[in-house]
Amino acid sequence: MRSTYKGKVTHRSWQHLPQELVRLIVTHALLDISANAYVPKSWEQRDQWLPRMVFNVVRDTDYMENFMNVCPPWFAALETHLFWAQAAAVLDPLDALLSLQRTPTRFSPYNHFRYNILNRCCVPCRVNAPHTSTGLWTAKRTAYTYVLGSVPVCRDHVKDRFCGICLRDATDESVLENEDGETWSGIDATCRSCRAEWLLRNCDSPREREALGGRSLRSVDWETRQAVDTFVEASEGTIREVRSLALERHWLRRNTKIAEMLNHAVAASRYATREEAAHSRTSYTYVDGDNDDDLSDADPDLDNADTDDADADDADLLGITEDAGGVRDLAINDWARNRILDGHWYSPADQWQAMLQSPMSQSAEAISTAVPAIHPCPWNLPPEEQTDAEARPHPSPTMVRCDVPPSFPLCTAAYEAFKRQLRAVLFPAMRNIVRKIVIECAVDGVDPCIKAARYDVEDVARELRDVGVWYNGMDWVTRRQNGERERTERERAKEEREREERRRREREERNEQRRERKEESVTDDSSSEGKSDASHTTSPVLSASTLQTTPSPPPLVLKKGDTDEAQVLPSPTSPTTLTFPIAISPVLDSPTLIPSIPYVPVTMAQLPPLSIDAFKAVWREACAPLFQCRCTICERAVQKANIEAGSTLVPT
């Protein structure tokens, strides 16, 4: 500024500005400030204009004094700014203290306001009773307030006797002790209006505001509603707690079936109560009347209405039902299970990690790492799933885009549920993989431990994409032989076909030659011509033997029953009895399909570390029997178990 000052007298600067100009500058600055400065919601209603003016005057005094401290000439210029006369009139509307200004020493408007009025009045008294002279000249000490800083207060207005934010007096019963030291440190009491206002003010995102129930703070979720109500009405808890709870509940409602489950639970418990009441011969009207008390005003007193909409129901009933039934746990587990069944094996814990690294792009990361998943046995899916398999990708985009659980405890719960469900879904199949390894190694005479230890995550996933491991009691030896036989048969059929083709061509050539010879000797003999045609149609190309050997894909042989063909082929080692290093389940005549089969990602390479860990943990558990004690006592126990289970004999 100094450098841009141009004029004949260069030693002059802005401290030499004419006094009127300084006052004009500050008037405009003050206008700007007051347009954006904070006014508590308590005083924002139209009819609260007097308290609002008092509050604003005290607030703006600070700004004015900042300007006055720029330099001594500015101080002098602003001492007579009109603001001070205005301020004095607002704080002392009845001119009770005017006589003080008319002393022989003559106070400047600033000094009169600052020292005769503001420093000696109780600001809470003035804000709450602006049209009287209450609180003038009664200041005894100062108290810290959240917005206005330290203000003088009277003897009655000790710190917990007024709202530390808007200065509302504690005669209003909504002014209660402040429990939220994080948000308002050093404030002893807050009022209802300020608590509600700041709860929404501290929201970071529209989603958070939505979770809290919008401007009216009426969330659809009963627990959120309850937490908000306790905080706003009773001043219990902190803003952070309420916010994180609201976000958790919001997430649960958006992503899990918690609302539905609650409805069912409530309906069931309602039904039970009603049954009880009916049994105890209480009149039905009484039960109805009782229920009406429980229902909120939003619910019409129709009989079926209470089962339709649990949101409007009494929070206590919901709370009891939710706690007792563990509905929240059920909902999270259900969510995790659906995620795994749909082939999205990206754990919530990894999502959390991704969020910590880049808060904005956590879902982007999940989307970029999502790989398509395929079903091991699509023919087993329900018909509606089968038909639109192409139209509906797996994992579904909504599943992939699901937000991370918003709080650490909820995310931990979700991760635990994920691990539990991953185990529940994959363990039966992984145990079958181990069983397959053990059986095949026993036939080949190889150590299954070494083979199993060589399996990496990708190998296990590849096995999981094979339908065989989703059958319990699969006869792996026969299956492998069938696979081999299929291969050899296909090769044999190919050779056969080539041979037939060669033979046919030779015969055709011969026929051709014969015909030519015939044409030479007998010019028109239709009968011989016909005969030749007939021989052509019944050519061995289409004979039954050829049809048999054409490689129409043989049905998957799953039963050990039809082994008559398999017996023709010599098995690799053809042992009659095999011993297994671990106890395995016996071969079943008709292997049974495991009930819930997930979509399996086409590759595991994209999965982040914690998801892989969860996957590995299940595999490790499935392999555990292979790496148990190998002393003779234990080995004998295993053999005994296998003999009892009937899994020692492997049909060849």
CB 591 within 8 A of CB 377: no
Our CB check for Zn ion shows the closer of 178 and 478 to be 178
Phi and psi at residue 343, in whole multiples of 5°?
90, 10
Please enumerate in sequence order all residues whose Cβ is within 8 A of that of 377, keeping only pairs 6 or more positions apart, or say none.
467, 470, 593, 597
User: Least distance to Zn ion from the beta carbon of 206, Å?
Assistant: 25
CB 598 within 8 A of CB 426: yes
Our CB check for Zn ion shows the closer of 121 and 258 to be 121
- The distance in angstroms from the start CA to the end CA of the chain is 99
Residue with tokens 């006589």: 99
Our CB check for Zn ion shows the closer of 96 and 634 to be 634
The Cα 582–Cα 156 span in angstroms is 83
User: Least distance to Zn ion from the beta carbon of 159, Å?
Assistant: 12
Tokens of 17: 């500005």
User: Least distance to Zn ion from the beta carbon of 154, Å?
Assistant: 3
CB 478 within 8 A of CB 557: yes
Residue 587: name the closest of 480, 485, 481, 477 by CA.
477
User: Least distance to Zn ion from the beta carbon of 107, Å?
Assistant: 24
The Cα 48–Cα 386 span in angstroms is 66
How far out from the chain centre does Cα 521 lie?
Answer: 91
User: Least distance to Zn ion from the beta carbon of 203, Å?
Assistant: 19
Our CB check for Zn ion shows the closer of 141 and 494 to be 141
* Residue 195 exposed, middle or buried by CB count within 10 Å (0-12, 13-18, 19+): buried
Please enumerate in sequence order all residues whose Cβ is within 8 A of that of 86, keeping only pairs 6 or more positions apart, or say none.
57
User: Least distance to Zn ion from the beta carbon of 59, Å?
Assistant: 14
User: Least distance to Zn ion from the beta carbon of 442, Å?
Assistant: 12
User: Least distance to Zn ion from the beta carbon of 96, Å?
Assistant: 15
Our CB check for Zn ion shows the closer of 197 and 475 to be 197
Our CB check for Zn ion shows the closer of 68 and 191 to be 191
User: Least distance to Zn ion from the beta carbon of 42, Å?
Assistant: 5
Our CB check for Zn ion shows the closer of 147 and 594 to be 147
Our CB check for Zn ion shows the closer of 157 and 394 to be 157
Q: Using only the alpha carbons of the chain, give its radius of gyration.
A: 43
User: Least distance to Zn ion from the beta carbon of 458, Å?
Assistant: 23
Our CB check for Zn ion shows the closer of 35 and 631 to be 631
Phi and psi at residue 158, in whole multiples of 5°?
-70, 170
Residues that bind Zn ion (CB under 5 A): 42, 122, 124-125, 135, 154, 157, 163, 165-166, 168, 191, 194, 447, 449, 629, 631, 634
Q: Which amino acid is at 357?
A: Q
The Cα 28–Cα 56 span in angstroms is 16
Our CB check for Zn ion shows the closer of 127 and 467 to be 127
Residue with tokens 């065989």: 468
Our CB check for Zn ion shows the closer of 164 and 468 to be 164
User: Least distance to Zn ion from the beta carbon of 501, Å?
Assistant: 51
E strand map for 83-222: 141-145, 149-153, 176-177, 189-190
Residue 30: name the closest of 73, 71, 67 by CA.
67
Residue 546: name the closest of 474, 620, 492, 481 by CA.
492
DSSP string, 172-195: STT-EE---TTTSTT--EE-HHHH
Strands 471-472 and 189-190, how do they pair? unpaired
User: Least distance to Zn ion from the beta carbon of 180, Å?
Assistant: 13
Our CB check for Zn ion shows the closer of 452 and 474 to be 452
User: Least distance to Zn ion from the beta carbon of 153, Å?
Assistant: 6
Residue with tokens 């206590």: 316
Tokens of 155: 């003897």
The Cα 491–Cα 551 span in angstroms is 9
Phi and psi at residue 649, in whole multiples of 5°?
-85, 125
Our CB check for Zn ion shows the closer of 135 and 376 to be 135
- The packing angle between helices 408-444 and 609-623, to 10°, is 40
